[in-house]
Chains A and B, each alone.
Chain A
Amino acid sequence: MAQSLDRLKESPSQTAGPYVHIGLTPNFCGIEGIYASDLGSTIVNDETKGERIELRIRVLDGTGTPLKDALIEIWQADAEGLYNSPAELRGAADPNFLGWGRQPTDMETGVCLFQTIKPGRVPFRDGRLMAPHITLWVVARGINIGLHTRLYFSDEEKANAEDPILARIEHRLRVSTLIAARQGDTYVFDVHLQGEKETVFFDS
């Protein structure tokens, strides 16, 4: 026998369940007075640099029905392509932009809205620039482990064409599942959990 590697195993995931709002957006579900506001509900302020955009996101199940009990978190770079994170070593990100947001899907319509800015480009591991993108993390009842994906922008065709992650998608038909459609200042994005239009999810 060789020595033990002394590694621990990651805690296994479990579903967030239907009452995820109690913990993560308590004011949204009527539990007021514990936190002043729901964490992640506001991403930009008046001083934030960059182009203001709205994300209009839905999450659909295998029948095409929108989930009304999902929760989405986004993580993105600032307008200059810098992350507001201690692990960002290239420079200081915009102090008026946290880069992270959290919203539940509406309990009636299933629509989830984020007011944010369009991110700048971030380098891939080899220094090539990735296309502007926002990382999405989706949890809900029935989802045993949070799903990671990315939202890219329909008006960034040239950048999308040279993006190293999009280039990894073998079935080219599926690239379109990661591209949000611009309508004015709003980008519309449907996450399909299952079926023909299934969104590309990541293991990274």
Chain B
Amino acid sequence: MAERGSNRAPETGAFFQRDRQWHPPAFTPGYKSSVLRSPQKALLSFDNTLSELTGPVFGHAMLGELDNDLIHNFANPGESAIGERIIVHGRVLDERGKGVPGVLLEFWQANAGGRYRHKKDGYLAPLDPNFGGCGRAITGEDGGYVFRTVRPGPYPWPNGPNDWRPAHIHFSVFGHGFAQRLITQMYFEGDPLIWRCPIVGGIADKAAIEALIAALDMHATIPMDALAYKFDIVLRGRRSTLFENRPEGN
């Protein structure tokens, strides 16, 4: 059976172990909400079973025409969102460097002033009547994706007395197995708030933080229209099934 959205044969090997020194740990007290929401007991480790190796796959048919266009998908006819127009593009790869085709990406963000369209966001920066803040895409055969939006603004949040989130876009990514499920945030090259943020700072390794910073990509800009940022996402790789029970393995 071919993978939906791809001509490749499905892979069934177990996923590489997650490097939990590289990810932020559960307990990062500089980010206050984590204090009471972090497990304190050790995680139970076991090699993936079918329950982790399998996962939902979504077809391109579910996508609407404007799903990857946040400038227009909430706008009134003939209007568009206010802000710095940008293209965000990249590839979803796995740890072996292979593109991951046919996976659903979902993204959400504040508007150009740092205001979210959510009743629990009481920030005084105004809503943009032409901006909703969500979008989605499914990766192509090479793992590539693209969407357009406006660059989100930074915003203050009640953590420390004067904490501000760097400009960021939230990403939710499915892989091919449920154990690859990942939510992360994309930051923008050169933003000085990145290095002051307690949520970013939960990640100990500077190289891991840099892996979440999208680079300005002049080659992907649309002249006189939109700047571009490139953001690649890496999911867990899979072990080969060579020498496991199936003779056709690898």
- Residues of A that sit less than 8 Å from B by CB: 6-24, 26, 29-31, 33-36, 39, 61-63, 67, 69, 73, 75, 77, 83-89, 98-100, 107, 122-125, 130, 133, 135, 137, 139-148, 150, 165, 168-169, 174, 193-195, 198-204
Q: Which of A26, A141, A165, A168 contacts B134 (CB 8 A)?
A: A26
Known: A86-B10, A123-B50, A203-B43. A24 touches B118 (CB 8 A): no
Contact A12 B93 (CB under 8 A): no
Name which of A77, A89, A123, A140 has the most chain B CB atoms within 10 A of its CB.
A89
* Interface-facing stretch out of B79-87, B176-184, B216-224: B176-184
Contact B95 A9 (CB under 8 A): yes
Contact A34 B49 (CB under 8 A): no
Rank and list the top 10 A-B pairs by shortest CB-CB distance, nearest first: A23-B108, A142-B33, A85-B54, A142-B37, A100-B56, A203-B43, A62-B36, A83-B54, A144-B24, A14-B185
Contact B51 A22 (CB under 8 A): no
- Chain A residue, CB-CB nearest to B238: A87
Chain B 77-118 near chain A by CB (<8 Å), digits 1 or 0:
000000000000000011111000000001111000000111
Q: In the complex, given contacts A87-B11, A144-B23, what are 16 additional A-B residue pairs having Cβ atoms less than 8 angstroms apart?
A: A10-B22, A11-B233, A13-B183, A19-B118, A29-B117, A31-B132, A34-B73, A39-B62, A83-B54, A142-B35, A143-B26, A144-B25, A174-B41, A198-B39, A201-B39, A203-B45
Known: A9-B22, A30-B119. A22 touches B108 (CB 8 A): yes
Name which of A7, A19, A24, A77 has the most chain B CB atoms within 10 A of its CB.
A19
> Can you give 30 A-B contacts (C-beta < 8 A)?
A7-B237, A12-B22, A12-B23, A13-B184, A14-B184, A14-B199, A14-B200, A14-B202, A15-B185, A18-B120, A22-B117, A29-B118, A31-B117, A34-B74, A34-B134, A61-B37, A63-B36, A84-B56, A87-B10, A89-B10, A137-B181, A144-B26, A145-B23, A146-B181, A169-B44, A193-B38, A194-B39, A198-B40, A200-B41, A204-B179
- Chain B residue, CB-CB nearest to A33: B74
Within 8 A of A (CB), among B7-47: 10-12, 17-20, 22-26, 28, 31, 33-41, 43-47
Complex Cα–Cα for A130 and B35 (A)? 34
Complex Cα–Cα for A16 and B107 (A)? 11
Complex Cα–Cα for A101 and B95 (A)? 27
Contact B108 A10 (CB under 8 A): no
B interface bracket (residues with beta carbon within 8 Å of A): 35 or more
Known: A31-B133, A193-B38, A203-B45. A86 touches B1 (CB 8 A): yes
CB neighbours of A62 from chain B (8 A): 35-37
Known: A9-B234, A143-B37, A194-B40. A73 touches B184 (CB 8 A): no
CB neighbours of B43 from chain A (8 A): 201-203
The answer to the question of B235 belonging to the interface, with a C-beta cut-off of 8 Å to chain A, is yes
Contact A22 B116 (CB under 8 A): yes
CB neighbours of B126 from chain A (8 A): none
Contact A88 B134 (CB under 8 A): no
Q: Which of A21, A75, A83, A144 contacts B118 (CB 8 A)?
A: A21
CB neighbours of B236 from chain A (8 A): 10
Minimum distance in angstroms from A28 CB to a CB of chain B = 11
CB neighbours of A29 from chain B (8 A): 117-119
Contact A193 B39 (CB under 8 A): yes
- Chain A residue, CB-CB nearest to B66: A34
CB neighbours of A135 from chain B (8 A): 51-52, 178
Known: A144-B28, A144-B202. A73 touches B36 (CB 8 A): no
CB neighbours of A204 from chain B (8 A): 44-49, 52, 179
- Chain B residue, CB-CB nearest to A75: B178
Contact A11 B118 (CB under 8 A): no
CB neighbours of A6 from chain B (8 A): 96-97
Contact B181 A9 (CB under 8 A): no
Contact B34 A83 (CB under 8 A): no
CB neighbours of B208 from chain A (8 A): 9, 12
Complex Cα–Cα for A120 and B108 (A)? 35
CB neighbours of B178 from chain A (8 A): 75, 135, 137
CB neighbours of A122 from chain B (8 A): 49-51
CB neighbours of A89 from chain B (8 A): 1, 10, 12
